[in-house]
Structure 1
Amino acid sequence: MWNPSKKTRTIASKILFVIFSLTSVFHIFALLQIVPYKYLWGGRLGSVQEMYLMEIISLIANGFFVYCSYLYLRYLNLGLVPFWIRIVFGFISGIFFLNTIGNLVAVTNLETLLATPITAILSVISFTLVPKYENKTS
């Protein structure tokens, strides 16, 4: 079975930490209406109120993803990645896989062209953290 090395997992968790952090900043810009809501959520938002609700949910989710990426790296450095956090990254991978499909059918080209590759990459990188980690010290 495929078992990424500690170095691969370290790089993957650091990449996720950075991307989720930057995505959180993007969602803050959206909440501040620096990014117009018509470009968000596939162009399907009907009002500023809808945007606030969806962006707050997104910001909370991204904060959770940032925290999980940090925890994964911490556990990895201790030589033991618990089962529950691998399940979380399997869930995150699935969310971003579905999000990639949603981005492909977005109303706005910006969402399709910009968000699709990002969510596809997030899905693949998150999946890298799912297999059981075996600390091979010998």
Structure 2
Amino acid sequence: MNLRTAIKTMLLLVTTVTVFHFCIIFKIIPYEITWGGRLKNDAEMYVFESVSILINIFFIFTLLMKGSYIKQVLSVRTVNVILWVFLILFGLNTIGNLFAKTNFEKLFAVLTLAFSVLVWIILKAKNTEHTAAYKRH
């Protein structure tokens, strides 16, 4: 898989996850089946879901910069450091999802593992791929 395909796949998945978090905030999806079944009330849910949405939006902008879809407001090095942080977080989240209280959330281990693999592919793509992507836009 090349850099552009990995970034487009991640953008689709992260956007879908962001919509999922909005569905929890709007109570279309019950929060009891998320966060390892540990949320106790609506106030906790709003805090956790709002933070999740903000992190996902930040991740989307990082991916857009990496793929040269938007102006590079952060250096390539900074974008790569952010992606390494997300790789670590996705790896830890995969482990956490495996130990979740609900089977629904345990299934998310597959998604976070896929995120980890895709971010790894994005980080390991040759710099020439990134440069070529930047020149196309």
Cα distance between partner residues in 2 of 1:12 and 1:96: 15
Instruction: Find 1:98's aligned residue among 92, 95, 98.
Output: 92
Which residue identity lines up with residue 38 of structure 2 in the other structure? R
Deviation at 1:131, TM superposition (A): 3.2
Distance 1:31 1:66 in 2: 20
Which among 96, 108, 133 is matched to residue 126 of structure 2? 133
State the shift of 1:86 in Å.
1.2
- Partner of residue 19, structure 1: 13
How far did residue 127 of structure 1 move?
1.5
For residues 125 and 5 of structure 2, the distance between their equivalents in structure 1, rounded to whole angstroms, comes to: 16
Classify the secondary structure of the residue corresponding to 1:74. coil
Secondary structure of residue in 2 paired with 1:119:
helix
Pair 1:83 & 2:77 matched = yes
Q: Hey, what does 1:119 align to over in structure 2?
A: 112
1:24-63 aligned at under 5 Å gives the runs: 24-63=18-57
8 Å contact from structure 1 (residues 87, 130) kept in 2: no
Supply the distance in 2 between the matched residues of 1:23 and 1:61 (Cα, whole angstroms): 11
Q: In the alignment, is the contact (CA less than 8 A) between 1:86 and 1:129 conserved in 2? A: no
TM-score by length of 1: 0.84
Are the aligned partners of 1:27 and 1:59 in contact in 2 as well (CA < 8 Å)?
yes
- In structure 2, list runs of 5 or more residues that go unmatched: 133-137
Contact 2:87 / 2:119 at 8 angstroms: preserved in 1? yes
How far 1:132 moved relative to its partner? 6.7
1:78-121 deviation digits (Å, cap 9, x = unpaired): 9xx811111111111111000000000000010002x1100000
Q: 1:121 & 1:36 partners in 2: Cα distance?
A: 24
CA contact (8 A) 1:106 1:112 kept: yes
Q: Which runs of 5+ in 1 are unaligned?
A: 1-6
SS in 2 for 1:42: helix
Q: In structure 2, what is the Cα distance between the partners aligned to 1:66 and 1:133?
A: 21
Partner of residue 67, structure 1: 61
**Equivalent pairs, count:** 126
Query: Displacement, 1:44?
Result: 0.8
Distance 2:48 2:68 in 1: 30
**What fraction of aligned residue pairs are identical, expressed as a percent?**
30
